[in-house]
Structures are given as structure tokens and as C-alpha cells.
Amino acid sequence: MTTQVKGPISKIDPTELTLSDKLIYINRVAKVMKGGKRLRFSALVATGDGNGHVGIGIGKATSVPDAISKAGAIARKSLLKVPVAGSTIPHEIRVKFGAAKVLLKPAAPGTGVIAGGSIRAVLVAAGIKDILTKSLGSSNPINMAKATMLALSQLKHPKEVLARRRLAVEVKEAETSG
């Protein structure tokens, strides 16, 4: 199981893509002040082109529409490319983000997206058509969405891994023969 890894994310230009936003969750936050309660809203939005690009964003504002538009703008800034093998993911992955654990498994064509809540919204935005998922641990929508994004960012194409292994084997052979 892998945990949070902060690394350089290559920037994807959102102007070239036709993105669609999906509202996942709205939270009403009440702060008690001297004169009464101050209400604010936070919105969680997933955006994607349905062709391997996906991003999530959390926006906070005093009104719901402002929070949603802020979240959409943040989601467009955090886009990442997801490696897709046909209509599913290349391999199984299990990731932990905070107390939320997410398991993603590739599925046979025609299975559909077997996922709940925010995991489903992120996967549909990414354009993954066949996948099996399980949410383990926390059911917090924000942490489940972030765990799903972390899992998708850690997926590797089989060809890339094979090329890297061949390169490592060639380097070891050169060291032992030289």
C-alpha cells in the first residue's frame, strides 16, 4: 500500500481540452461570531474530458455558486493524465490518503464503473469505463476523491515499466562485465 507522495506534476493546458465539471459534494460551514453565525460553503468538483485527463478542486466562498466556480477553476489547474489500458486501468492499485483507503482494480470490458460516491465521479470524469473499486476506511468525500486522484497519478503504463526494467538490467550487465 502506498501513501501520500508529493512530486512534480506536469502541467496540462486546460484550454486545449473540452472539460466537463461534476459537482461531488457541498459542505455548509457555520462559524460562530460575536453577532451570530457566519455561513460559508465549500464545494468539491471533479473535472475531466472523459479521455484520460482529470482533476479535482475544492472551492470555498460565502455563496454556493461562487464556491462551485472556484472549485472548477482549481480543478482545471490540477489536471493530470491517467494511463488507460483500453477502457480500464493498467493494473491494480491500493492507496491511502489520510484515513481514506481506495482500492482500484481493472475490470473486463462491459463491467462498467463499480464505484460509489466521489470515487465514481472522479473515474467517470477521467473516462474510465470498466473498473472495480472499494472504499476502505474513511467515507469522507474529499479524502476519498484525493485518494482516488493519488491512485490514478501512481498508475504506470506496462510498456514504461518494462522499458525501465530492461534499462536497469542492461546497466547491471554492463557493471558486472566491466
pLDDT for 8 equals: 47
- Would you list the DSSP string of 42-107? EEEEEEE-SSSEEEEEEEEESSHHHHHHHHHHHHHHT-EEPP-BTTB-SS-EEEEETTEEEEEEE-
pLDDT along the chain (178 residues), means of 10: 53 75 94 92 94 93 96 92 89 94 94 92 93 93 95 87 80 76
Of 136, 131, 107, residue with least CA distance to 120: 131
Mean pLDDT over the full length of the chain: 88
Cα 62 to Cα 29: distance, rounded to the nearest angstrom: 10
Q: How many CB atoms lie within 10 A of CB 8?
A: 5
Write the CA distances from 152 to 26, 33, 60, integer angstroms: 23, 41, 25
pLDDT for 178 equals: 63
**Cell numbers for 96:** 491511502
Residues 6 or more apart from 167 whose CB is under 8 A from it?
none
